[in-house]
Amino acid sequence: MNFKLCPLCQKEKILSSVLSFCRDCIISDFIRVKPLLDKVHRETRKAFSLPEGVSDKREGLSCKICSRECLIVEGEFGYCGLRSNSQGRLLGPKVNEAKVSWYLDPLPTNCVADWICPGGTGVGYPKYAYRPYAEYGYYNLAVFFEACNLNCLYCQNWHFKYASLNRRYRTLEEFLEAITPVVSCICYFGGDPSPQAPFAIKASFEALKKCKNRILRICWETNGHFNPQLLDKVIELSLISGGIIKFDLKALTPEIYYALTGGENSVVLDNFKRVAQYIKERPEVPLLTASTLLVPGYVEEEEVERIAKFIAEINPEIPFRLLAFSPQFYMKDLPLISKKTACSCLERAKKAGLKRVSLGNEHLLK
């Protein structure tokens, strides 16, 4: 059952070796545990030559591309590893380039929002979908941004970190050439699109201009750490195109969020509320959806209920998808989530007031 002894409470619980502590002790004794969590995040980033943390020095250049607003001192990089301070100048990708890759993904695909999106269901037809059912024969241009502003210890796409400081960029022109007539949606993910939002925003407007007489949905799959002002452009793009903004709400409890990701979630929650204000402007296709990965021992019934209540208080119609855990990266010693636990989490989300809840990655349930 993968039980281990928590060194603080001396109880046998499901816990990750990299974190060392159980969920309850991380929450109740966070002041004591935090320095050890900080060490874990520093060491796991150092292994990929990534900056080990956000500078706490009072001088340097402020990067405001994402919500972390790194203060970058001379000769160092910001947390995502994209921008550096060189002789008092902030260097990094320009608006017409990005550290990114892409591929054509046949529709319907395994997107987090496939159960509610035009590409997977035909919702919004004929304005936002080519067919009144799944768009067989069309493609999603899956755009993977190779940088991130979090340090999730269970990252499912962690391999991009091997080339974390590789300076090779793709251009806006290359991106636009990849949008063929069979592409009906673009989905930005990663990593995360927020550290390279200026490119994604400009590229999206140019793509819509290129395809102004046909359907081209602009979608985002994000941890939510957008600069709020840039997020407004993201909202505009998805609204006008029939796209969906997908927030990965990893945890609501701040201490658990920090332990798993090395970041804080207050801006994420504020940004989620910011997007939710626009839901009624386009009722045909959901503008906003949320997903949460069920992490054994850390994100189960109690955490799911907290997240679901947060969403329901904003709007109970917001779709919420629970995803089964796959042991990855530094938390590969955790077990698969049980079907019993997953179903219990699903019921707790519904009882919290959400009207549209589903379970994904069911093949991973044990």
| Cα-based distances in Å from 171 to 175, 200, 358 | 6, 11, 37
Known binding-site positions: 148, 152, 155
Contact 15, 22 (CB under 8 A): yes
Q: pTM of this prediction? A: 0.96
Residue 146 CA to residue 126 CA, distance in Å, equals: 34
Partners of 295 in beta bridges: 299
Predicted confidence (pLDDT) per residue in 60-79, tens digit: 899 999 999 999 999 999 99
Position of tokens 């402007």?
Answer: 281
Known binding-site positions for [4Fe-4S] cluster: 148, 152, 155
Residue 129 CA to residue 215 CA, distance in Å, equals: 7
CA-nearest of 366, 291, 358 to 327 is: 366
Contact 246, 219 (CB under 8 A): yes
Q: What is the pLDDT of residue 164?
A: 56
Q: What is the pLDDT of residue 163?
A: 65
Partners of 91 in beta bridges: 84
Query: Which domains are present in the chain?
Result: 1-47 (no CATH), 97-364 (3.20.20.70)
Both tokens of residue 329?
């990266």
Q: Of all helices (H) and strands (E), which one includes residue 73?
A: none
Cα 17-22-27 angle, rounded to 5 deg: 130
Q: What is the pLDDT of residue 157?
A: 92
Both tokens of residue 111?
């997107």
Where the chain has pLDDT below 70, the residues are 1, 55-58, 163-167
CA-nearest of 281, 282, 317, 346 to 123 is: 282
Both tokens of residue 67?
């919500």
What count of Cα atoms within 13 Å lies in the side-chain half-sphere of residue 258?
17
Position of tokens 């997908």?
Answer: 246
Q: What is the pLDDT of residue 167?
A: 60
